[in-house]
């Protein structure tokens, strides 16, 4: 039947053209790109019609994770924050940034070429010895795989964004009465009585039986699984490894030292003074030479060089300071003058008459500062390391580009990439999201990439994943296993702790509510605490807004309570971040003398506006929140 159908199509031109037309329609509607490459990046969100791609989100997530890791010395504490929360934070930042960028573009904030050039040249990242260095600039761009136009466009956008924000922050002001009132409120103190119930003590007092553990596990077994895992083959490109393999000879290092000697040695410098008589033409030079020789004879007879310089020197820049030129280093003066200065052998020695393009000079040596620095042997190892790093930079960026292209152009194998770059393919043991001890294989960007649909199901190589600016990796999956159920023995201790925690929290919630009811009824915190083995009472605790006695969020809630009155008790309860429960009563509110909020409000002195950048930051945050509310924001379902 299939053979008959093929022959029918082959022998019928109308039918062939109809089929071609039918096949062409999807290409015309959605583009050929939808049929190629399989599973490219989709949009993570859309902000006011502007897409935020998954690639943008991946980069932001990785950067956010790196910032958190740096805050804790390299590793994020276990259970501090989940990967999904980090990703959510990164997406929120991207959305907020795009909201503001949209407004900046609509309001036509712009950055001219001159300002852009100035910002780039003044950026310390692109400077060597305080001066803009083009090679350093280009190296920076190559390290981030971006072109000059792309980077400069980003700089324009970021600078315009900064202008917009600065315009709000720097234009905010407050009146003296407002400042005084805010000062009074900020210095206000509040006194509380409270009971704190310890979750740790409550947990310690709970016993859990084996039957309880088994029953809880059976009911919640689906929540206890090992994550999916994979065995990988991968190619790792690390600049540090490249540098260690770069051979630098002593001869090459010495050449580098001589060519860059000013980095390591400060040449001898001399302080000198001079008397200049300007002259042009042979006759005038001869005349001035005789006159200057006469001045020299007077100095030799005991007259002051400085006084005679002030009287006769034609150099307006030095005459008033006794002819002093200050420190002179090699190359600072014209050759004839420099030669004469460096030929003088002792302080206060006078030179012969020196002729230059400016006229004739009499020079006096004021002081000598000897050359200082390090000789070649002292800096040889440093130079070798520098040369290795420079060569490693060059090789790294070349290899990175080769690796990226080869891994992409040959998506179902790393062998071609290994052959082109000369880097060996490595294999791993099982890798999953619980892995923490391997800086490369535990990298969250790599883990996310290998378990993506494109890599996991299509069998493709990952794109280049940045472990750091100078360390990248690409990988592919050799073996894969989906999530596996854990046994009771795998999680017995975890289940026991979970049960204890849940039961302890139930107990504390009941006690907290009972305590609150008692406080509202006029009860005493000491008596309330005595009713529990894991409660402590605290009385007459004076708090400021900056107090560390209690959690910041709880202090904020305490300051939100209305001032206590005789007819009504101001009391509330709270759950602290560590799980402890607190029930508290506000007993009094006080303001330091001289900062009365009432006095500030009634101050009738003439108002004078004062710049208030702190208020500006608050206003900027409020504006951004308002702009977000007014912007159409769509978040992809998976995010």
CA distance 50 to 113: 26
CA distance 585 to 505: 22
pLDDT value, residue 637: 67
pLDDT value, residue 619: 84
Which run of H or E residues covers position 385? helix 376-409
pLDDT at 24 over 50: no
CA distance 160 to 413: 44
pLDDT value, residue 638: 64
Helix (H), strand (E), coil (C) string for 93-147: HHHHHHHHHHHHHHCCCCCCHHHHHHHHHCCHHHEECCEECHHHHHHHHHHCCCC
Mean pLDDT of 253-272: 86
Q: Looking at per-residue confidence, does 619 or 42 come out higher? A: 619
pLDDT at 592 over 60: yes
Q: Looking at per-residue confidence, does 478 or 127 come out higher? A: 478
Q: What are phi and psi of 532, to 5 degrees?
A: -135, 145
List the single range of 19-23, 173-177, 485-489 with lowest mean pLDDT. Answer: 19-23
Mean pLDDT of 596-611: 56
Task: Please name the residue ranges forming H helices in 535-604.
Answer: 552-560, 597-602
pLDDT at 432 over 70: yes
The total of other beta-carbon atoms located within 10 Å of residue 488's CB is 15
Q: How confident is the model at residue 309 (pLDDT cuts 50, 70, 90)?
A: very high
Tokens at residue 375, please?
Answer: 């000789």
Mean pLDDT of 140-167: 81
Sign, CA torsion 334/335/336/342: positive
CA distance 570 to 520: 8
Contact 215, 372 (CB under 8 A): no
CA distances from 391 to 129, 177, 627 (A): 21, 63, 49
pLDDT value, residue 605: 53
Secondary structure letter of residue 12 according to DSSP:
-
Q: What is the CA radius of gyration of the chain?
A: 39
The total of other beta-carbon atoms located within 10 Å of residue 348's CB is 11
Q: How confident is the model at residue 544 (pLDDT cuts 50, 70, 90)?
A: very high
pLDDT in tens, 60-83: 887 887 788 777 766 677 667 777
pLDDT value, residue 557: 95
pLDDT in tens, 178-194: 778 877 888 899 999 99
CA distance 235 to 415: 10
List the single range of 69-73, 113-117, 125-129, 498-502 with lowest mean pLDDT. Answer: 69-73
Q: Which residues does residue 194 pair with via DSSP β-bridges, in sequence order?
A: 538, 584
Q: Looking at per-residue confidence, does 20 or 219 come out higher? A: 219
Q: What are phi and psi of 568, to 5 degrees?
A: -145, 135
Q: Looking at per-residue confidence, does 596 or 473 come out higher? A: 473
What percentage of residues in the chain have a pLDDT greater than 70? 89
Mean pLDDT of 427-454: 88
Q: Is 50 left (phi over 0), alpha (psi -120 to 50) or beta?
A: beta
Coil/strand/helix, residue 535: strand
Q: How buried is residue 446: exposed, middle or buried, by Cβ count under 10 Å (0-12/13-18/19+)?
A: buried
pLDDT value, residue 607: 57
Q: Looking at per-residue confidence, does 84 or 411 come out higher? A: 411
* Size (the chain), residues: 639
Contacts of 189 (CB under 8 A, 6+ apart): 542, 543, 544, 589, 590, 591, 592
pLDDT value, residue 152: 84
Distance of CA 236 to the CA centre of its chain: 24
Q: How confident is the model at residue 21 (pLDDT cuts 50, 70, 90)?
A: very low
pLDDT at 30 over 50: no
Mean pLDDT of 159-182: 81
CA distance 36 to 99: 32
pLDDT at 596 over 70: no
pLDDT value, residue 74: 62
pLDDT value, residue 600: 47
List the single range of 9-13, 200-204, 228-232 with lowest mean pLDDT. Answer: 9-13
Dihedral angle, C-alpha 67, 72, 78, 84, nearest 10 °:
-10
CA distance 523 to 540: 15
Q: What are phi and psi of 596, to 5 degrees?
A: -65, 130
Task: Please name the residue ranges forming H helices in 238-317.
Answer: 239-244, 250-259, 281-300, 305-312
pLDDT at 483 over 50: yes
CA distance 518 to 520: 5
pLDDT value, residue 62: 78
pLDDT value, residue 57: 85
What percentage of residues in the chain have a pLDDT greater than 90? 46
Q: Which residues does residue 479 pair with via DSSP β-bridges, in sequence order?
A: 231
Q: How buried is residue 44: exposed, middle or buried, by Cβ count under 10 Å (0-12/13-18/19+)?
A: buried
CA distance 112 to 134: 20
Closest by CA position to 202, among listed 626, 594, 627, 578: 578
Mean pLDDT of 354-383: 90
Average pLDDT of the chain, as a whole number: 85
Contact 325, 385 (CB under 8 A): no
Q: Which residue has the tokens 């006080």?
A: 590
Secondary structure letter of residue 75 according to DSSP:
S
CA distance 17 to 538: 89
């Amino acid at each position: 039947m299939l053979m008959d159908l093929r022959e029918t199509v082959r022998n019928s031109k109308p039918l062939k053209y109809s089929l071609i037309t039918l096949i062409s329609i999807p290409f015309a509607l959605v583009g050929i790109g939808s049929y190629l490459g399989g599973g490219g990046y989709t949009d993570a969100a859309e902000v006011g019609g502007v897409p935020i791609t998954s690639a943008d989100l991946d980069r932001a997530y990785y950067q956010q994770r790196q910032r958190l890791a740096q805050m804790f010395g390299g590793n994020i504490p276990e259970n501090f924050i989940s990967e999904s929360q980090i990703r959510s934070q990164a997406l929120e930042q991207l959305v907020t940034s795009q909201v503001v960028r949209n407004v900046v573009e609509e309001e036509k904030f712009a950055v001219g070429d001159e300002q852009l050039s100035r910002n780039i040249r003044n950026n310390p990242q692109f400077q060597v010895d305080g001066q803009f260095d083009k090679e350093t600039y280009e190296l920076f761009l190559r390290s981030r795989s971006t072109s000059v136009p792309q980077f400069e466009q980003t700089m324009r956008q970021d600078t315009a964004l900064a202008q917009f924000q600065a315009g709000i922050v720097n234009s905010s002001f407050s009146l003296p009465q407002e400042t005084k009132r805010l000062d009074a409120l900020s210095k206000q103190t509040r006194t509380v009585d409270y009971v704190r119930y310890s979750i740790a003590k409550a947990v310690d007092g709970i016993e859990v039986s084996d039957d309880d553990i088994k029953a809880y596990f059976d009911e919640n077994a689906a929540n206890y699984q090992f994550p999916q895992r994979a065995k990988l083959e991968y190619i790792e490109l690390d600049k540090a490894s490249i540098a260690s393999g770069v051979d630098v000879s002593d001869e090459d290092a010495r050449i580098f030292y001589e060519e860059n000697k000013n980095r390591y040695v400060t040449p001898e410098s001399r302080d000198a003074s001079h008397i200049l008589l300007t002259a042009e033409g042979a006759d005038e030079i001869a005349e001035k030479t005789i006159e200057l020789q006469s001045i020299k004879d007077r100095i030799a007879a005991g007259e002051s060089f400085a006084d005679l310089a002030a009287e006769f020197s034609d150099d307006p820049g030095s005459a008033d300071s006794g002819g002093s030129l200050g420190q002179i280093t090699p190359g600072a003066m014209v050759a004839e003058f420099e030669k004469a200065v460096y030929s003088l052998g002792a302080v206060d020695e006078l030179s012969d008459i020196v002729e230059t393009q400016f006229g004739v000079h009499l020079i006096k040596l004021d002081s000598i500062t000897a050359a200082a620095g390090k000789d070649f042997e002292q800096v040889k190892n440093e130079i070798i390391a520098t040369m290795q790093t420079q060569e490693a930079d060059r090789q790294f960026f070349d290899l990175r580009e080769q690796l990226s292209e080869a891994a992409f152009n040959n998506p179902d194998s790393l062998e071609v990439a290994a052959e082109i770059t000369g880097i060996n393919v490595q294999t791993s043991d099982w890798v999953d999201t619980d892995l923490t001890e391997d800086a490369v294989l535990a990298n969250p960007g790599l883990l996310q990439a290998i378990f993506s649909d494109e890599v996991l199901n299509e069998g493709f190589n990952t794109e280049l994943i940045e472990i750091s600016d100078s360390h990248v990796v690409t990988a592919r999956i050799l073996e894969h296993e989906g999530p596996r159920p854990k046994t009771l023995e795998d999680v017995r201790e975890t289940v026991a702790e979970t049960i204890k925690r849940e039961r302890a929290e139930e107990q504390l919630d009941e006690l907290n509510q009972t305590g609150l009811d008692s406080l509202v009824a006029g009860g005493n915190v000491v008596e309330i605490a005595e009713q529990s083995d894991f409660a402590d009472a605290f009385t007459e605790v004076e708090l400021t807004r900056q107090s560390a006695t209690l959690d910041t969020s709880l202090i904020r809630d305490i300051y939100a309570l209305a001032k206590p009155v005789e007819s009504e008790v101001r009391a509330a309860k709270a759950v602290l971040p560590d799980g402890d429960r607190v029930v508290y009563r506000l007993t009094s509110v006080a303001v330091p003398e001289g900062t009365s909020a009432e006095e500030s409000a009634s101050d009738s002195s003439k108002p004078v506006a004062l710049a208030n950048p702190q208020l500006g930051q608050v206003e900027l945050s409020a504006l951004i929140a308002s702009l977000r509310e007014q912007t159409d924001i769509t978040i992809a379902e998976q995010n």
